[in-house]
Copies of this chain bind each other. A is one copy, B any other.
């Protein structure tokens, strides 16, 4: 049985398609920071109650001195190395498709894919992302970690909305064309 839960990627990239500069440098994101403007993030987060995130991205967040922001949600850190759970935060070493199938078979809000690129590309290889909310930052960074890597199947999309903001950020929202 499959419910209507959707896997949604919500992420920011440079115009040239990088989610980070070399050494996981996210400094370019600061150019679109604006007081009182969260680019819809808080409203988006209210629509999800489960999170899938890669181990490296998780550790990057922790290393920046933040408390893990999704500790209140059913969270899966995708990793190759088993570790004990931290409350609702689970370290998941199994198959990604099995995880998504399991989450989709249970009732709940939507499922947030919070990166990084490795997880996004693994999910896309099995056509497991239902919606894409991509914030394009007005910069060419030139080097770093590309959001989309070679070697995925073709997937047609349907544009849901486009929003642009004062700082030049453009937010593109797509869903899979066949859903």
A-B contact pairs, 27 of them (CB 8 A): A15-B132, A15-B134, A15-B148, A15-B157, A16-B152, A17-B17, A17-B146, A17-B148, A28-B154, A124-B142, A138-B156, A138-B158, A138-B177, A141-B154, A142-B151, A142-B152, A142-B154, A142-B155, A143-B152, A144-B150, A146-B146, A157-B168, A158-B168, A159-B168, A159-B169, A162-B164, A168-B174
Do A159 and B138 form a contact, CB below 8 Å, given A148-B16, A150-B143?
Answer: yes
Copies held by the complex: 2
In the complex, A79 has a CB within 8 A of chain B: no
- Once the chains are docked, how many angstroms separate the CA of A147 from the CA of B154? 17
Q: What band does the interface of chain A fall in when counting residues whose beta carbon is under 8 Å from B?
A: 35 or more
